[in-house]
Amino acid sequence: MDFSLTEEQQMVKDTARRFADEQIKPVAAELDKSHRHPAEIVRQLAELGFLGIAVPEEYGGGGMDYVSYVLAMIEISRACASTGVIMSVNNSLYGYPVLAYGTHEQKLKYLKPVASGQHLGCYGLTESGAGSDPAAMRTTAVRDGDAWVINGEKKFITNGNVADYCVMAAVTQKGLGYKGISTFVVNLKETPGFSLGVIEEKMGINASGTAELIFEDARVPADALLGQEGEGFKQMLSTLDGGRIGIASQAIGIGRAALEDALAYAKEREQFGKPIASFQAIQWKLADMAMELDAAELLTLRAAYHEDHHLPYEKEAAMAKCFASDAAMRAAIEGVQVLGGYGYISEYPMERHMRDAKICQIYEGTNEIMRVVIARSLLKGK
């Protein structure tokens, strides 16, 4: 078993780390406080090929692999979790389904502008009454001649306030449950009947917009249908599997930031005449943080390896996302404890790490749902 990175993978990791440290980390606190979309950073991510990292160059992407995606995501998220999730959604939730299920013409029309970073994409699944139970969605799409007419609202859509394109799910055949769901890829800027709703105020990832998408008799062309009618639920499941690899990577990055900040503080802060890093109580916290984050990274790289080699990875992605997000949350909690009072004030980034880490346990499927996915796979003998 070879744990070494290829030359290209190492280059991606080094490039992402350097960019994160030099361009993102210095402005991360300001982005969080101002809730400002990091447009200039996103443009630079596009230039690096990170907004469509595993998309073939033919369709505007970086032409790399999913292991490289994980490595880059960890480094970007270590500097700014908001920037990390913007990158993750563009790659996993928008780019993947269009690449996997789109025709050549759809990829040129809908994928290339987003994978190249000229525009951003988002993913419209969640509704006010349909979260962990997507079959309860109420957004509908009805065929009308050479168009589809969409009605409904999507909630909590990451990138929704800045995206030009959206992959979204809608019911095309009522009464069939999940078998009646289809997927559409929509140019939001050219769709009459689409409007932007509420932009949410959140606990964390504040530089990443979370918006409501409203469709009122919104007409999209016939070629907006991704794959075949009624295949939306199956497409959604595979898309979320890949998305969970992205969120696991984001969580690891947040956890790494918490560990780095706690370690640096523990070496400098003195109590009873010596650095607090000399006390076993602090050392054990740092050791547990490092141990869990390394384990999370290995789980996530395994899931990415499976995706790269076209092996089943539903269970592996769920394990990675669940373990990594729990590890990040524990790292952030312990990081605040190591810093004591300074961990609780906004002068230091630790409280931001804690706020950012929490969402990783919730989106792309709650960790309770991840355990259901894992158990279901075990019970099937997979």
**Where in the sequence numbering do the catalytic residues fall?**
364
In terms of phi and psi (left: phi > 0; alpha: psi -120 to 50; beta: otherwise), the region of 35 is: left
Neighbours of 182 (CB within 10 A): 23
Q: Which residue has the tokens 């630790």?
A: 350
Cα distances (angstroms) measured from residue 32 to each of 244, 300, 364: 23, 27, 22
Closest CA to 161 of 212, 127, 110: 212
Measured in whole angstroms, how far is the alpha carbon of residue 165 from the centre of its chain? Answer: 16
* 10 CB-near residues (< 8 Å, 6+ apart): none
The Cα 8–Cα 6 span in angstroms is 5
Give yes or no for a contact between 159 and 89, defined as CB atoms under 8 angstroms apart: yes
The Cα 13–Cα 297 span in angstroms is 13
Report the DSSP pairing between strands 165-171 and 181-187.
antiparallel
The Cα 229–Cα 206 span in angstroms is 36
